[in-house]
Amino acid sequence: MDFIIKLIVRLGILAGVISTLFILWVYFTFPDMCGNYLHAEAYSPDNKNRIVVFQRDCGATTGFSTQISILGADVKLPNESANIFIIPGHPNEVAPGVEWLDNSTIKISQRLNGQEYLSETSYGWFNKVVVKYE
């Protein structure tokens, strides 16, 4: 009986180690399935920042989404979700107009209607950018 308990415990530990190694292998072997595709961009008046409108696509099982981020002027669009605004739909059909009103204020030409996944009213800690929706 003692032998059977030891065998079951050792097999459980072995199964846990193999499962962990498999998960780590999958995580590091296969790239992220999501991708961002630039639709439009607008630079701030001082050319230090830019608004980026893009489509985020995570494969055939997800729908299109239009997303807006504020990035530094020389920062490459990262493969992650937006930091300001996300709505369902392809940018060719639903992308709102975006513009800089000054170096610290942007306007997104879209009235908020509750369909948004994300709709921030400001961005940043030190050089805060205010986001207005119209």
What digits encode the pLDDT tens for the residues 50-97? 999 999 988 777 788 999 999 999 999 999 999 999 999 999 999 999
* Widest pairwise Cα distance in the chain: 78
pTM of the entire predicted model: 0.75
- Tell me what percent of the residues of the chain surpass a pLDDT of 70: 98
**pLDDT band at residue 32 under the 50/70/90 scheme:** low
Q: Cβ(70)–Cβ(87) under 8 Å?
A: no
Check the CA dihedral 78-83-84-90 and report its sign: positive
Query: What is the rounded average pLDDT of the residues 9-32?
Result: 83
Q: Cβ(123)–Cβ(83) under 8 Å?
A: yes
Q: How far apart are CA 66 and CA 86, in angstroms?
A: 6
Query: What is the rounded average pLDDT of the residues 25-37?
Result: 77
Strand 118-119 relative to strand 97-102: parallel, antiparallel, unpaired?
unpaired
